[in-house]
Structure 1
Amino acid sequence: MGWRLIAKKGANVSEIIPGSQVGDIQDYRRHRYKQGIPEGVEDLPPGVALPLESNLAFMNGISFTKGCYIGQELTARTHHMGVIRKRLLPVSFPEPLPGSSIPAGTEILTESGKRAGKFRAGQGELGIALLRLAHTKEPLCMHLAGDTVRLRASTPQWWPKAAAK
């Protein structure tokens, strides 16, 4: 996710970290979407999002050695069985999205009409979606107000290589 810096007001960031650039919240969101990093209830809806599908194990957000948390048994069993059929993935659109026109939960389909997943959030030409891994290499689309919006999923480079298959 890059670096975050706490510095005195007015400090020249490029002197502290050469080659760095200062961004705003929109830049941060775009970077998150590009990397497939979820944040908050929009990306991780309570009661719906599962830790393994949300890639939290890849980010060391799940402990498999300590116990006593809600959902621990299911999470550990799923992790050790190695069968995770859906994951949050970065998605990209051929052109920027107009405003916030795609509601969270919009169904994503394959070109042949099979259910592939659900859109979570997006900005510009980037977004994040929960997708069935079996369909991530196929052309994908969403139907919005009579229009078909095409999108493409990608596997983040920071994922463990075994998970990207």
Structure 2
Amino acid sequence: MTIERRSDRVAFRFSGPDTTHLLHDVLTPPVLEDGVARWCGLLAPQGKLLAEGLIGWADGAYWLDVPSAAADNFFKRMKMYRLRAKMEIERLDESHVIGWSTAQPASGVAHEDRRAEGLGYRVIAPVGDAEDWVDGDGQARIRIAAGILEMGPDFIPEDVFPHDVGMDHLGGVDFKKGCYVGQEVVSRMQHRGTARRRPVIVSGIAQGGRGDAIVVGGKSIGTLGAVVDGSAVAIVRIDKVGDVDEASVNGAPVSLALPHWARYGFAAPGGDSEDD
């Protein structure tokens, strides 16, 4: 079995008697000792994402991965939120590596990514057990096809709200639990239905890369994330799309499509978009 190395991610391990309660009160999703991996975010008080990743319970602890660019700030803030709680926070970038596999591996801590069908498994393993892991873009290709955005390749910390990247549709935000950091802003967006920036799959990209504008009717409606094999996931103003057949990047036509999990739609020309 081939495991693809994710050198752009850092693993953390959380353990101790107060861990579930504390993480449930700080992170965006339900935090449960059920072995299910959930998309989670740590938000700034203003509601924007400081870090994101999958969190799952295994071997008496929670295992979480975040992008390397967000790891220092994530570690600092989690130590601050811990205060006197009985919780140990281990940063594992010196001892463990993160990988991705299409099937569950025989070793390492593996959690299935259930945000969409076929996303494979996030694997965290000791450095010595990962010597035969390979570099590749298989994970990026599959998540782009599913319309899944990722901090690092597609957007930077403190630049987007959870709704902008679809966390509200993919189990990444619990709207029923009590307060967590940034909850007030995110809850207001949910109940007022004000989310207008949403993930959109862009294909047929002949010339363009991350950060390039998607243009419709002479106006930018969003920017590309990382491009793999001519496709990318973009954060798009769905209320400004208009005629999708007119979309272009750097003057070349592209195709726009909604992820299969989306419960929102493009606005009709001159109209408003629908968003449940």
Normalised-by-shorter TM-score class:
0.7 to 0.9
> For residue 229 of structure 2, what is the aligned residue in structure 1?
124
Equivalent residues of 1:137, 1:153 under 8 A apart? no
Q: Distance in 2 between matches of 1:4 and 1:43?
A: 25
Contact conserved, 2:213 with 2:224, CA < 8 A, in 1? Answer: yes
CA distance, structure 2, for counterparts of residue 129 and residue 25 of structure 1: 21
Structure 1 gaps, min length 5? 9-23
| 1:136–1:51 CA distance, 2 compared to 1 (3 A) | farther
**2:102 & 2:173 partners in 1: Cα distance?**
22
Residue of 248, 254, 257 corresponding to 1:151 = 254
Secondary structure in 2 matching 1:159: coil
Question: One-letter code of the match for 1:118?
Answer: T
Counterparts in 2 of 1:41 and 1:66: CA distance versus 1, 3 Å: farther
Q: Distance in 2 between matches of 1:108 and 1:136?
A: 12
For residue 122 of structure 1, give the secondary structure of its aligned residue in structure 2: coil
| Counterpart contact for 1:136–1:154, Cα < 8 Å | no
What displacement does 1:62 show? 1.1
Q: What displacement does 1:3 show? A: 5.9
Q: 2: distance between equivalents of 1:48 and 1:149? A: 27
Counterpart CA distance in 1 for 2:184 and 2:242 is 28
Select which of 192, 202, 211 maps to 1:81.
192
1:93 to 182, 204, 227: 204
Counterpart Cα distance in 1 of 2:224 and 2:151: 15
Q: Which structure has more strand as a fraction of its residues? A: 2
- Indicate the structure (1 or 2) with the bigger Cα radius of gyration: 2
Give me the whole-angstrom Cα distance separating, in 2, the residues matched to 1:3 and 1:66: 35
Which ranges of 4 or more aligned residues in structure 1 deviate by more than 6 Å? none
2:163 aligns with one of 22, 36, 52: 52
Cα contact 2:214–2:224 (8 A) shared by 1: yes
How far 1:27 moved relative to its partner?
2.4
Specify whether residues 152 and 42 from structure 1 end up closer, same or farther in structure 2 by C-alpha distance, changes over 3 A only.
same
Match of 2:137 in 1: 26
Q: 2:211 corresponds to which residue?
A: 105
1:142 aligned partner, one-letter code: V
Residue 142 in 1 paired to residue 249 in 2? yes
Contact 1:90 1:129 in 2 (8 A): yes
The aligned length equals 138
TM-score normalised according to structure 1 size: 0.72
Deviation at 1:33, TM superposition (A): 0.5
Q: Would the aligned equivalents of 1:58 and 1:159 in 2 still touch at CA under 8 Å?
A: yes
Residue in structure 2 matched with residue 67 of structure 1 by the alignment = 179
Distance in 2, Cα, partners of 1:7 & 1:109: 46
Change (3 A) 1:136 1:52: farther
Deviation at 1:94, TM superposition (A): 5.9
Q: Which AA in structure 1 matches 2:105?
A: I
Partner of 2:238: 133
CA RMSD of aligned residues (A): 2.6
Q: Which has the higher contact order (CA 8 A, sep 6+)?
A: 1
Query: One-letter code of the match for 1:131?
Result: V
Q: Does 1:115 align with 2:248?
A: no
Q: Give 1:55 deviation, angstroms.
A: 0.1
Relative to the length of structure 2, the TM-score reads 0.45
Shift of 1:61: 0.8
Q: Tell me how far apart the structure 1 counterparts of residues 231 and 242 of structure 2 sit (CA, whole Å).
A: 15
1:42-97, Cα deviation, whole Å (9 max, x unpaired): 2231111211010011111112223121x2211110011112111121110165x6
CA contact (8 A) 1:118 1:129 kept: yes
